[in-house]
Chain A
């Protein structure tokens, strides 16, 4: 059991139904299978590309995964609170656009001569505001999340275009330079930011009663209502949290790219895939924050390994697609066996 503690939030296991041995074996097979697959990928790359397993390169992958990782973790919170049905349940399609607008807000404020503190606050506020609009529309107007966030995505992407005129806004401040620097071992600061962000959200989502409530709202809404949980406020909170993640990712992207750039929308589907893939790294095949981090790193290592081996990066989306199909098919087949 001790090996599973890392992936099995202790706070949540209390709410589990009595364990079904067959289901546990199937889930364990898949989880270990996916971990073994992850390890196999690492081994293959480290054998074929000598530089791959160096500390500097691992740090690089962590740093490069920071933006998509933060976004995917934000989306995971919505997946947890919204439940497993992607159409009517939790999904936030506005996240990538949110990152783009937050980055644009940050960059244009620094260009206007405002300091880092103002720009950071404004970027996070922008993200939170977008999350709040989603929350109000989903929770209080009752529009399904897929539609709400689709419409909001359009509005937000448009606002970004209006603000930037579809051009690159360069930005450089002391804070941004510090973020994009590397430490003495050559590990980018962004890598630490990703790990720190993951640690904080993991602590909140997997180890507090609040996080337990989020899972309850998503998986057993009727039971959660019967238990007197504030369903609407929790779901709304998840959307706001996701919005804030978008704002933070926006700041990271300004630092990573030395400004705000166009085309944030292209991040959307990879982020959705990352968040959805994450559940294979959890014991009960549910979305978890650490699972999402692992899946973000898996994708990061794949991209990085391909680059080191000079394999066309166009293959990455294909590999992502094949991965998600294999993983999901395996999950489904295993679940069917257990039933």
Chain B
């Protein structure tokens, strides 16, 4: 829409409906998918399954997607979130296996994730490499390093009887009946929401994403903010890595990469379906929830496993297409 287009004297009903569809498109999509699976499968709407969606599907994806949201908010993207997860996971398992206390091992894991982030930060903010290319390079190097560390990609198992209690707690424990991984995800989500809504740092990185030039002219140290953002991305991804490791009590090389594309999907679904078209924590969480529900629901249908992938892709595609077409109709595109 060019600036010359005169504003309509009255907002017509079709435009109002289309605008509403954009505003609530993601929630509508969630409700529709939820309703469809409730009708289509007998077991979807049981409490046990709903809990399974949250704990098994949603938790890790949500945390990684929040990490991705920070990267996208600053105008970039991080293809190495899986690498940060894997490095954290490897450090964690190795140190636990070496007999170190779980707390020490967990801290080392977080440090390993932050290290991956710092490597990206160096490339992006000091040298000026575009985030896509920098993190792509990190992803490739990380894959090689993991294979070298594990003799060509062998998993590192913890012996079943040698798993410390605190380790098990992180993956399978409950706090007052509430699963620990889910609690961790909620803490990460809440913290991210606070950072974006209430802190100067959050506002600055959003502005860098929207108008980098303006930020530069206003005297804000944009590179430093971007650097902190990417270290933060690595750190948050590391949390997901620790939880993944604690859940399966194994480090599997390059397993974190499985989350990469879905995290990008969740973040961008949240971005495109939000009223402002900006990366935002709420949208990302709803996006991750949508993907989790679709993954779980398709699993419960009688569909062949292979058709499930087709179904997921088609659904994401349909949601995106509808939102963009609506946006055009509403004149906000």
Q: How far is the CA of A147 from the CA of B129 in the complex (A)?
A: 22
Cβ-based interface call for A336 (8 A)? yes
Provide a sorted-by-A list of 8 A–B residue pairs whose CB atoms are within 8 angstroms.
A147-B272, A150-B261, A154-B316, A161-B309, A317-B141, A324-B140, A325-B133, A328-B137
Residues of B within 8 A of A148 (CB): 317, 320
Please classify the interface of chain B as helix (H, G, I), strand (E, B), loop, or mixed, using the class held by over half of its residues. helix
Q: Is the CB of A276 within 8 A of B268?
A: no
Q: How far is the CA of A130 from the CA of B222 in the complex (A)?
A: 40
Residues of B within 8 A of A47 (CB): none
Q: Is the CB of A143 within 8 A of B324?
A: yes
Q: Is the CB of B313 within 8 A of A158?
A: yes
Q: Is the CB of B264 within 8 A of A86?
A: no
Cβ-based interface call for B225 (8 A)? no
| Size range of the chain A interface in the assembly | 35 or more
Residues of B within 8 A of A153 (CB): 261, 313
Q: Is the CB of A147 within 8 A of B320?
A: yes
Q: How far is the CA of A156 from the CA of B137 in the complex (A)?
A: 26
Q: How far is the CA of A148 from the CA of B327 in the complex (A)?
A: 16
Q: List the 10 closest pairs (A to B, CB-CB), nearest first.
A: A318-B144, A321-B140, A154-B313, A158-B309, A158-B310, A155-B313, A161-B306, A321-B141, A314-B147, A325-B137
B-side interface residues toward A, CB under 8 Å? 77, 123, 127-130, 132-134, 136-145, 147-148, 152-153, 261, 264-265, 268, 272, 304-314, 316-317, 320-321, 324-325, 327-328, 333
Q: Is the CB of B152 within 8 A of A314?
A: yes
User: Considering only CB atoms, which chain B residue lies closest to A164 in the complex?
Assistant: B306
Within 8 Å by CB of B140, from A150, A151, A155, A317, lies A317
Q: Is the CB of A329 within 8 A of B123?
A: yes
Within 8 Å by CB of A141, from B123, B137, B309, B325, lies B325
Q: Is the CB of A155 within 8 A of B264?
A: no
Name A306-332 residues within 8 Å CB distance of B: 312, 314-322, 324-325, 328-329, 332
Residues of B within 8 A of A3 (CB): none
Q: Is the CB of B129 within 8 A of A328?
A: yes
Cβ-based interface call for A273 (8 A)? yes
Q: Is the CB of A151 within 8 A of B324?
A: no
Cβ-based interface call for A272 (8 A)? yes
Residues of B within 8 A of A269 (CB): 136, 139-140
Given contacts A147-B320, A151-B316, A325-B137, contact A317 B264 (CB under 8 A): no
Residues of B within 8 A of A325 (CB): 123, 129, 133-134, 137-138, 141
Residues of A within 8 A of B310 (CB): 154-155, 158-159, 162
Q: Is the CB of B145 within 8 A of A318?
A: yes
